[in-house]
Amino acid sequence: MTDALTVNGALLVCAVLGLWVISAAIGKASFVDSVWGFAMAGLALASFMQLTDQGSAAALLLAMVAAWGVRLGVHLLRRYWRNGEDARYRNMLPPPEDRFSFALTSLWKVWLLQAALIMLVSSPAQVGILAASDAPITAWALPGIALYLLGIFFEWVGDWQLARFKADPSNEGKVMNEGLWRYTRHPNYFGDACAWWGIWLVAASVDLSAALWTLPGPIFLTFTLVKWSGAAMTEDAMDEKYGDDFARYKRRTSAFIPMPPKEPA
């Protein structure tokens, strides 16, 4: 398994360095967000292709990660094409006019950091697939599948509802508080966490001892979605943009785990 993970890491570094060269050439880096999903799907595929015997449990894990990763990658790439460079990356990197500083800083602060986090967060899928080999799907995988499907529902539907809301000109300057967004301020992030905890549970159903080594993956993902680059950063921007309207929305709407609104929307 160690050899296979080393191969995966080498493939990821090569891909990241190639994308970094493109990033340095165009002076933009925020398309790295779309790489997150595509890369995890690619690592799951690389793990699966290295198996001598490819069983149903390994195929299930591959399908789960691929469905999650490709959808997210396409969604974020379309957002990048529509909105251009994200302000977060403009603030954290030197101006692209200073090509050397931009290239050097983005290499370690964006691309190599993302590669390390991708390996960490996707470790349950990689290890689970490699441990599964020709193992069948068992009843122990069902809770993980159920949690994954719940997460996929919240993430996909939440993103779709938000895109429709933003596409309506009459909603300009309004806070999204409809559909799943009435029950959690971040249905997409909640869904993301559920999906990866579901993947971890399926991996654990194959080989619990191996899956325990990958627990830092979903733990870190949940932390970053709630406290770091996910909900916390999004809400700072929303506070600044919407002021009192967003403050009222926060008072009545659960921060992460879906709950009934505290007062009518």
The pLDDT tens digits of the residues spanning 122-176 come to 999 999 999 998 899 999 999 999 999 999 999 999 999 999 999 999 999 899 9
Nearest to 157 by CA among 183, 122, 175, 196: 183
The structure's pTM equals 0.94
pLDDT band at 72 (very low <50, low <70, confident <90, very high): very high
Answer yes or no: do 156 and 225 share one domain: yes
Q: Could you tell me what percent of the chain has a pLDDT over 70?
A: 99
Q: Answer with the residue of higher pLDDT: 179 or 89.
A: 179
For 45, the domain range is 1-135
16 — alpha (psi -120 to 50), left (phi > 0) or beta? alpha
Q: What is the rounded distance in angstroms from the CA atom of residue 253 to the CA atom of residue 61?
A: 33
Number of folded domains that form the chain:
2
Is-contact 73 102, C-beta < 8 A?
no
Answer yes or no: do 98 and 158 share one domain: no
In this predicted structure, the answer to whether residue 199 has a pLDDT above a threshold of 80 is: yes
Is-contact 186 256, C-beta < 8 A?
yes
Answer yes or no: do 55 and 94 share one domain: yes
Measured between alpha carbons, how far is residue 6 from residues 28, 39, 62, 135, 249 in Å? Answer: 29, 15, 18, 23, 46
Answer yes or no: do 56 and 121 share one domain: yes
Answer yes or no: do 94 and 207 share one domain: no
In this predicted structure, the answer to whether residue 265 has a pLDDT above a threshold of 60 is: no
Answer yes or no: do 1 and 68 share one domain: yes
pLDDT for position 88: 83
Answer yes or no: do 81 and 175 share one domain: no
Answer yes or no: do 123 and 223 share one domain: no
Answer yes or no: do 142 and 228 share one domain: yes
pLDDT for position 237: 86
Answer yes or no: do 115 and 26 share one domain: yes
pLDDT for position 220: 97
Q: Which contiguous run of DSSP H or E holds residue 95?
A: none
pLDDT for position 93: 92
Answer yes or no: do 38 and 163 share one domain: no
